[in-house]
Amino acid sequence: MAIGLAGAMIGGMLFLAILIAWFSKDLPSPGQVKRREGFSTQILAREGEVLYDVSASDERREPVSFEEIPEYLKQATVAVEDKNFYEHSGFDLL
């Protein structure tokens, strides 16, 4: 029984490794990925119409730490992206 269970676990891990290798075969190597900067941010309406275009050249953009983001902005982002986030602990099947 223990040998069969160990064999099933090894087989499952082997299957998982092959599955990961198969899906990642077409991914670029991390050294080839380039950071693209200078793009504008577009604010869109529900129908896809551009309401406002924030050009990167119009302003100075700086990375900020998570602690520097106002709490109301964090809450608003979560509310827009996933209103049930705090009820399902980050994973929702629906």
Rounded average pLDDT per 10-residue block, the chain, 94 residues = 88 96 87 73 87 72 86 90 80 76
pLDDT at residue 69, rounded to an integer: 94
pLDDT at residue 30, rounded to an integer: 81
pLDDT at residue 59, rounded to an integer: 62
Q: pTM for this one?
A: 0.38
Q: Which spans in 1-94 are helix H?
A: 2-24, 71-81, 85-88
**Which one, of 7, 8, 62, lies nearest residue 37 by Cα?**
62
**Which one, of 64, 65, 40, 70, lies nearest residue 52 by Cα?**
40
**Residue with structure tokens 């223990």?**
2
Torsion angles phi and psi, residue 41, rounded to 5: -105, 130
